[in-house]
């Protein structure tokens, strides 16, 4: 690898965290540049094709989309975190994309001011989690005993669900035991714990309060 990689991040973003987990898991020396997405700097607006994080600077090039960044980082630093069977790998890619859909429903569940909308999003999240439970191997990780790319992709979602549980007593994994165990295994890993700033739990709570959505009314402390 030639140029040092530079990941543009927003501390609260679960999609950035997907990329960080792969970088950490592979012990890659990289830079991380934090921006405030609510007040993005001019250089970021010019750099990021869609105005979103994550963006990975590779020399004079930029990559966007968390799953693409994950795959690029994986490919340039063998051995791969992907399953070797092309069919399993392809199916994992589809479920990684599905994980993005869950995150997209989780955010309005947490932040929407309307109780009915928040509950509707919670139902969407729960339904998707049930679908995921049905295809989980039942092993320590998604495919079995080995940590793969899909595990890096789902850990940020589980971290946020764990925040929600601690803050509101809503246990989104109560009816999906395989996912609950998977979450526990993922959240215990160094590459996951070290993929966020130490103050993230406090920041997440601050975000919930600041957004002042229905879930803020359920905060337990
Ligand atoms: N599909 C994208 C989603 C990235 C995304 O939604 N990032 C959020 C922050 S967590 C963002 O940049 N939002 C700003 C915007 O959409 O304008 C990926 O997987 O990288």
- Domains in the chain: boundaries: 5-76, 86-218
Token pair for residue 17? Answer: 């965290």
For residue 37, give the ligand 1 atom closest to its CA: 14
pLDDT value at position 3?
79
pLDDT value at position 173?
98
pLDDT per position as a tens digit, 163-198:
999 999 999 999 999 999 999 999 999 999 999 999
Dmax (CA) of the chain: 51
Around ligand 1, the residues with Cβ closer than 6 Å are 10, 13, 15, 37, 51-54, 65-66, 100
pLDDT per position as a tens digit, 13-48:
999 999 999 999 999 999 999 999 999 999 999 999
| d(CA 122, ligand 1 centre) in Å | 20
Q: Answer yes or no: are the C-beta atoms of 25 and 191 closer than 8 Å.
A: yes
DSSP one-letter code for 24: H
Q: Could you tell me the pLDDT band of residue 218, with boundaries at 50, 70 and 90?
A: very high
In angstroms and rounded to an integer, the radius of gyration of the C-alpha atoms of the chain is: 17
Asked if pLDDT for residue 2 goes beyond 80, the answer is no
Residues linked to residue 9 through DSSP beta bridges, in sequence order: 34
DSSP one-letter code for 218: G
Token pair for residue 148? Answer: 């793969």
Tell me if residue 110 falls in helix, strand or coil. helix
Asked if pLDDT for residue 216 goes beyond 80, the answer is yes
| d(CA 146, ligand 1 centre) in Å | 28
CATH fold of 86-218, please? Glutathione S-transferase Yfyf (Class Pi); Chain A, domain 2 (1.20.1050)
Supply the pTM of this predicted model: 0.97
Q: Answer yes or no: are the C-beta atoms of 81 and 143 closer than 8 Å.
A: no
pLDDT value at position 1?
54
Distance CA 26, CA 23 (A): 5
Distance CA 9, CA 19 (A): 10
CATH fold of 5-76, please? Glutaredoxin (3.40.30)
Please, what's the b/e burial string for 54-63 (b: 16 or more CB within 10 A of its CB; e: otherwise)? bbbbbeeeeb
Average pLDDT, the chain: 97
Instruction: Out of 16, 19, 22, 52, give the residue to mutate to test ligand 1, the one with the largest number of ligand atoms within 8 Å of its CB.
Output: 52
Q: Answer yes or no: are the C-beta atoms of 34 and 60 closer than 8 Å.
A: no
Q: Answer yes or no: are the C-beta atoms of 187 and 155 closer than 8 Å.
A: yes
pLDDT per position as a tens digit, 46-100:
999 999 999 999 999 999 999 999 999 999 999 999 999 999 999 999 999 999 9
């Amino acid at each position: 690898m030639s140029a040092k990689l530079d990941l543009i991040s927003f501390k609260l973003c679960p999609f950035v965290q997907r990329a960080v987990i792969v970088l950490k898991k592979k012990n890659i020396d990289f830079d991380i540049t934090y921006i405030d997405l609510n007040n993005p700097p001019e250089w970021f607006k010019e750099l990021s094709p869609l105005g979103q994080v994550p963006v990975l600077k590779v020399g004079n090039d930029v990559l966007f989309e968390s799953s693409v960044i994950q795959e690029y980082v994986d490919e340039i630093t063998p051995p791969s975190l992907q399953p070797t069977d092309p069919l399993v790998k392809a199916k994992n890619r589809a479920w990684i994309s599905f994980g993005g859909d869950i995150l997209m429903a989780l955010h309005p569940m947490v932040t929407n001011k309307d109780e009915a909308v928040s509950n509707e999003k919670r139902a969407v999240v729960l339904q998707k989690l049930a679908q995921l439970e049905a295809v989980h191997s039942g092993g320590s990780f998604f495919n079995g005993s080995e940590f793969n790319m899909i595990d890096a992709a789902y850990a940020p979602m589980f971290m946020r669900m764990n925040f929600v549980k601690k803050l509101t007593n809503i246990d989104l994994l109560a009816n999906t035991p395989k996912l609950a165990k998977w979450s526990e295994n993922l959240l215990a890993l160094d590459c996951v714990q070290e993929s966020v700033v130490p103050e993230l739990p406090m920041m997440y709570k601050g975000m919930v309060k600041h957004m002042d959505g229905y879930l803020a009314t359920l905060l337990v402390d």
